Amino acid sequence: MGNWVVNHWFSALVIVIWLGLNIFLFVTFFLTFDRDEKYHYTRRLLWSALAWARASAKCINFNSLLILLPVCRNLLSFLRGTCSCCRRTMRKQLDHNLTFHKLVAYMIVLHTAIHIIAHLCNFEWYNDAQQATDNSLASVLSELHQDDGLWLNPINSNTTTPLHVAFTTIPGLTGVIITLALILMVTSSVEFIRRSYFEVFWYTHHLFVIYFAGLVIHGIAGAVRGQTADSLKEHNPKECAPYYTEWDKESSPHNCKEPEFGSIPAESWKWVLAPLILYAFERVLRFWRSCQEVAVTKVVKHPSKVLELQMRMKGFSMEVGQYVFLNCPSISHWEWHPFTLTSAPEEEDFSVHIRAAGDWTESLIDAFEQQTPKIPRIKVDGPFGTASEDVFRYEVAMLVGAGIGVTPFASVLKSIWYKLQHADQKLKTKKIYFYWICRETGSFGWFKNLLASLEQEMESSGRAGFLSYHLFLTGWSSSMVGHAALNVDKATDVVTGLRQKTSFGRPMWSNEFSAVAAAHPKSVVGVFLCGPGPLAKSLQRCCHQHSSLDPRKVQFYFNKENF
């Protein structure tokens, strides 16, 4: 438990506060609508379903306020820059933006389900009250003020059905539209669809525009009503409700007048106005940047279906490990896809490496290979910050890349190469451990030249021990292993041509962490991953197992690329 706290105490605190606010809002408004005299007669028609519907509605508003903030990329980059002096545990929360975005979405789904079920009950009870002919309180309340707008029951006809109300009234119709939009957004966001059919995810996720429009309009008709303040002065429900059959008689006890009802003011717009304005500004900024001219200065085709694009754009400035969004109008005007920058801040041009992993990337690679009639136009939005920016803030760093996930560390290692060439640049980082896991030998091709240059540069500068890198090949044959064994005495590796020998199989992470902890017993070690979820779980577990709450001992901080 103590080791877990080192990495996650602040994240846990944020989640607890968020859950606490949800519980507070739900309980507060549930009790308000369950006990307030203003809603006494509404409760006589709807019972506790009124409180369930209204309490869940407040939580939907609250979480709708939060849902857009984690995806405001420019806001997060700004906060990352302003938090440069903050503790690493606080900066790390910015790397969990998509996780928090998903949690908020799940909370909206939960309260939407509660809200829908409660209102389905409300529709039925409204309908039952309207059709009642037994002179009960519900029957009398349903007949009050149907002609002067001070009514309580929105169903004013014995032939009206709940289904008719759901599809012909503003609250009902917008509720159906909001629900359908939410279902499509959530279901298309599952890992399988997002990875395999990104276009489906991309387009359906933009239904958020319909969701917010429907949310703002949903409550303006005021279908759920309460007694007006003026009516409460002349008609106290506790005193007058027992004499509901004599409200229209001057001789009635307490001289009760007929109660009058008004709608509950629509409040959703108050909750979501600020984040919508912020997000609109975000999109305007993105559009402005996407209009800037981008020159593709070099195109390189690497093995394993990897395309390298080197580009130049006026005013472009980056940090190590950042990423950009790319758009190719000849493929799609609307689709933007994220790619980690593989260039260093010291370079004049910036570059990305794109692996064929879907329809869009395959189309882009084909377009640049054919280059007919000319090189396709590229739009760039960014750069945006990631966890990898903090590599040089740690005394010791462990960089783990899987396949094309090596891209952020290409930027880091290139920057190291430039820094080593300038003796006046001092690094807080004293040691870097780099691990690259690939399925096939071709994947090593485009990156080994950089590693070879680093080997040579660090040896000539007397810092050969600064970088320790380990290459792992997971897709191998027995003949390949036998060939490597026969050439084990050679100075260079038979697979990559580098001095560091390639290992076959997957790393034994517990052993790797133990070795790092033994070599740096009093250090803070930053563990950075760009790779799949199962690998992330393994590394997180090792960070927990090998960290100590004692600040005088080794501590591992886990960081993962998320975009």
Tell me if the pTM is above 0.85: no
Better-predicted residue by pLDDT, 493 or 357: 357
Q: Name, in order, each residue with C-beta under 8 angstroms of 56's C-beta and a sequence gap of 6 or more.
A: 26, 111, 112, 114, 115, 118
Better-predicted residue by pLDDT, 305 or 64: 64
Question: pLDDT for 330-361, tens place per residue?
Answer: 888 888 888 888 888 888 889 898 887 778 88
| Mean pLDDT, range 104-123, rounded to an integer | 94
Position 358 scores a pLDDT of 75
Q: What is the DSSP string of 351-383?
A: EEEEE--SHHHHHHHHHHHH--SSPPP-EEEEE
Sort 526 into a burial class: Cβ within 10 Å, 0-12 / 13-18 / 19+. Answer: buried
Q: DSSP label at 424?
A: T
pLDDT at 386 exceeding the cut of 50? yes
| Mean pLDDT, range 115-132, rounded to an integer | 89
pLDDT at 281 exceeding the cut of 90? yes
Residue 321 and residue 384: Cα distance in Å, rounded? 9
Q: Name, in order, each residue with C-beta under 8 angstroms of 290's C-beta and a sequence gap of 6 or more.
A: 327, 379, 380, 381
Burial of 168-189, coded b for 16+ CB within 10 Å and e otherwise, reads: ebebbbbbebbbebbebbbebb
Question: pLDDT for 125-177, tens place per residue?
Answer: 988 888 887 778 888 888 888 878 888 888 877 767 777 777 888 888 999 99
pLDDT at 561 exceeding the cut of 90? no
Give me the CATH code for the 292-384 domain, please.
Answer: 2.40.30.10
Residue 326 and residue 382: Cα distance in Å, rounded? 9
Q: DSSP label at 188?
A: T
Position 2 scores a pLDDT of 46
Is residue 325 within 8 Å of residue 282, measured between CB atoms? Answer: no
Mean pLDDT of the chain: 82
| Mean pLDDT, range 223-228, rounded to an integer | 88
Provide the β-strand partners of residue 245.
none
Better-predicted residue by pLDDT, 471 or 32: 32
> Which range, of 49-53, 85-89, 352-356, averages the lowest pLDDT?
85-89
Q: Minimal CA–CA distance to 63: which of 13, 114, 12?
A: 114
Residue 262 and residue 250: Cα distance in Å, rounded? 24
Is residue 474 within 8 Å of residue 506, measured between CB atoms? Answer: yes
What is the number of other CB atoms lying within 10 angstroms of the CB of residue 377?
12
Position 471 scores a pLDDT of 81
Peptide bond into 275 cis (omega under 30): no
Q: What is the DSSP string of 21-49?
A: HHHHHHHHHHHHHHH-GGGHHHHHHHTTH
pLDDT at 251 exceeding the cut of 60? no
Position 49 scores a pLDDT of 92
Containing 154, the helix (H) or strand (E) segment is none
Better-predicted residue by pLDDT, 289 or 428: 289
Position 23 scores a pLDDT of 97
pLDDT at 27 exceeding the cut of 70? yes
pLDDT at 7 exceeding the cut of 70? no
Mutual angle of helices 533-546 and 2-35, in 10-degree steps: 110
Better-predicted residue by pLDDT, 363 or 23: 23
Better-predicted residue by pLDDT, 465 or 116: 116
Position 254 scores a pLDDT of 58
pLDDT at 469 exceeding the cut of 90? no
Question: What residue segments make up the domains of the chain, in order of their start?
Answer: 2-283, 292-384
